[in-house]
Amino acid sequence: MSDKNTEDIEQSAAPLIEHLAELRTRLIRSVIAFILGIVVAFTVAEPILQFLLEPIEETLRDLGDPSPTMQYTSPQEYLFTLFRISMVFGFALAFPVIGLQLWRFVAPGLYRSEKSAFLPFLIASPVMFILGTSFAHFVVTPLAMAFFLGFVDVSSVFATLMQSATSVGGTEALAIPETDTGISITFFGKVNESLDITLKFIIAFGLCFQLPVLLTLMGKAGLVNAEGLARVRKYAMVGILLLAALVTPPDVITQLILFVVVYGLYEVSIFLVARVEKQHEDKLRAEGYYDDDYGIDDEMGDEDVFDIKNDEENLGESKNG
């Protein structure tokens, strides 16, 4: 092998090694931030658990349970439940650092226009996720718990015991009353199973609220357009109805709420994609590459337009440098 070929291989390998070293640094920082987030979240895991179980507590009290109580059936179950909460909320706490590390790794390979296009989505994504989780916790979960727990005869065995207090030897004692009307169905809630339902609602709605961000980003990349999204609107409605049937209890009100919210987000996505397209057309028109009758100039294809824009940006960056 000649010295020239060896030199070319070494020059091509050097950037790859630098990128891998940069990726390693970013991953280490992200993992450290995640671990610190878990530690911080674990210190407040019990208040977080109480907050997540509030919809169940309120539903039980509304059904007549004066002392809502949950149980765990294995020694390690409660600890693992707290650790699970710590992982979820630890990631949420560490996400700004993780997102920053991702941005710093990707940003050097982007043009200025691509940076300005991508950064708003990186900010909007966690905001929409928080809105989705809030909607799930304060609206959907209480409705779901009221539906699920509405099938039991009494909300908790403790309500039955407290209502059947009898006097034994001059003192009040609790006794299970005799019944002749069949078997009483009572709720013995497990902590991990109840938390699992709540987290599923939170994650599902948080992801559903990413729909405008995802479709707008795809519109920015030219993968979808507003006309195409509007044309498949009826299929989107069917898909959203199926989604509502899968992620919500068989309660018409809850399913209707989810359908209205997600379909509203779909319509917002169409509006945002149309706005992105208009901004792109205005920019091409200002640069002389857009024909009002035929769209992009016949003599100038999309690839040529983007090549010219990239060349202009490279020229501007070299001048600034």
pTM here? 0.71
Averaged pLDDT, 102-115: 77
pLDDT of 305 reads 45
pLDDT of 100 reads 86
Q: Decide: residue 102, CB within 10 A, 0-12 exposed, 13-18 middle, 19+ buried.
A: middle
Q: What pLDDT digit, counting tens, does each position of 110-135 carry?
A: 777 667 767 777 788 888 889 989 99
Each residue of 118-149: b (16+ CB within 10 Å) or e? Answer: beebeeebbebbeebbebbbebbbbbbbbbbb
CA–CA distance from 71 to each of 77, 78, 200 (Å)?
10, 9, 20
pLDDT bucket at 35, cuts 50 / 70 / 90: very high
Q: Decide: residue 77, CB within 10 A, 0-12 exposed, 13-18 middle, 19+ buried.
A: middle
Instruction: Tell me: pLDDT of 17 over 70.
Output: yes
Q: What pLDDT digit, counting tens, does each position of 222-239 carry?
A: 788 888 888 988 898 898
Other C-beta atoms closer than 10 Å to the C-beta of 188 total 10
Q: Tokens 């990631």 label which residue?
A: 91
Q: What pLDDT digit, counting tens, does each position of 269-287 carry?
A: 899 888 888 877 777 777 6
